Chains A and B, each alone.
Chain A
Amino acid sequence: MRNQANAPMAEQFETLEQQEEVSRLGMWAFLATEVMFFGGLFMAYTVYRHAYPHAFAIASKHTNLLYGTVNTAILLTSSLWMAFAVHAASEGNRKLLVRYLLLTILFAFGFLGVKALEYRQDFLEHLIPGRDFAVPEAPKSEIFFYLYWAMTGLHGLHVLIGIGLLSVIAWMSSRGRFSEKYYNPVEVSGLYWHFVDIVWIFLYPLLYLIDRHV
C-alpha cells in the first residue's frame, strides 16, 4: 500500500496510533541490535584498556582532541535540527520540515568533513597499525588504534547511512508525503539519527580523553 498522506494506514492496522506504535517499537528493536553491534567493540575496548591502561592513555594523547570536540558539538547540534524537523512535521509545516532535514544533513556532512581532516592527519602521523606505526614508546597502543579505526569507521558508516536515509525522507517531505496526522517515517528516522549521536557521545571520552596527564 502506498503511503499517501490522505491514506497512510497499512491494512493490517486498526488505527493510525497502532501503526505508529508498531513502527516505533520496530525501530527500537533494531536499535537494540545496533547496541549489541557496537557493544562488541566497546567490550573489546574495555578488556584491552583494562589490560594495557598506560599504552591506551599514551595512544589517546595522539588523537586530535580539537577535531573530536568540534565533531561532538556538530553531531549534538545536528540532533537538535532533527528534533526540530520532527516538531515541524508534527505541525504539518512542510517548508520548515524540509529545511530542518537539510540542516541535519548539512551538519552530518560537516561531521564527515572534520572526520576526513582528522583521518588525514592520523594517516600522516603514522597512526595506522602496521609496519610504520609510530608510537614507539608504547607498542601496545597499536591495539588502541585498531579499535579507534574500527569504532570511528563503523560510526562514520552509520553517519553515511543516516545521510542517505534523511535524504530520502527530505525528498518525500518536499513531495508532500507527510502531514500532521501522518509523519511516522520522519519520527522513526529521527530515532536512528539520535542513536548515531549517542554512540559518538561515548566514543568521545573513551577515545580522546582517556588520561590527559600521562
Chain B
Amino acid sequence: MSSATISKKSYLLVWAALMVLLGATWGVAELNLGAANTILALIIAVIKMGLVIFFFMHVRYNNRLTWIFAGAGFVWFWIMVSLTMTDYLTRGWLRAQDASISYWQEGAPTPPPGGNPGDVNTTKSNR
C-alpha cells in the first residue's frame, strides 16, 4: 500500500523541516521588513502545508485523482479570496471622494449635526 513507501526516517526529516520552518516564521517576524513580513509568513506557511499534504498525508504517492480532490478546496478558496479582494483593494481608486466607496479606506463619513438617527453615543470616535 502507498504509505509503506515512506520510511520513518523520512517522516522525521519532514518533522524536523517543519520545526525549522516554525522557528523561521518567528524569526522572520522579529525582523522589521514592512509588508514583506506578511508575505514571507504566508510563503513559509504554504511550504509547511505542502510538506504536511505531500508527505504526512501521502498525496505525493497517491494518484492524480487524489491530487485533484486535495487541490479543489484550496483552488476555490483562492478564487473566493482573489475575487473578493479585487473589490476591497480597489475601492476608492476611481472616485476617492465618494464617501460610500471610500468607506473602507477613510472610515465612516462624518455624521450630520446631532448625529445619525438611532445613534446611542455620537461622541465616540470611529477608529
Contacts and interface: CB of A to CB of B under 8 A. Distances in A.
Interface of A: 20-21, 24-25, 28-29, 31-36, 39, 42-43, 46-47, 50-51, 55, 65, 69, 72-73, 76-77, 79-80, 82-84, 86-87, 90-91, 138-140, 180, 183, 187, 190-191, 194-195, 197-198, 201-202, 204-206, 209-213
B101 interface: no
Given A25-B69, A201-B52, A50 B127 contact: no
B56 A79 contact: yes
B29 A212 contact: yes
Q: SS class of chain B's interface: helix, strand, loop or mixed?
A: helix
A190 to B, nearest CB: 7
A201 B24 CA distance: 13
B73 A35 contact: yes
B122 interface: no
B88 A50 contact: yes
Interface in B41-82: 41-42, 44-45, 48-49, 52-53, 55-58, 62-63, 65-66, 69-70, 72-74, 76-77, 80-81
Nearest to A199: B49
A51 B56 contact: no
A69 B15 CA distance: 15
Nearest to A192: B57
B4 interface: yes
Give the interface residue-count category, chain B: 35 or more
Interface string B1-35: 10110101001101100110010011001101000
Contacts of B57: 190-191, 194-195
A191 B70 CA distance: 11
A209 B73 contact: no
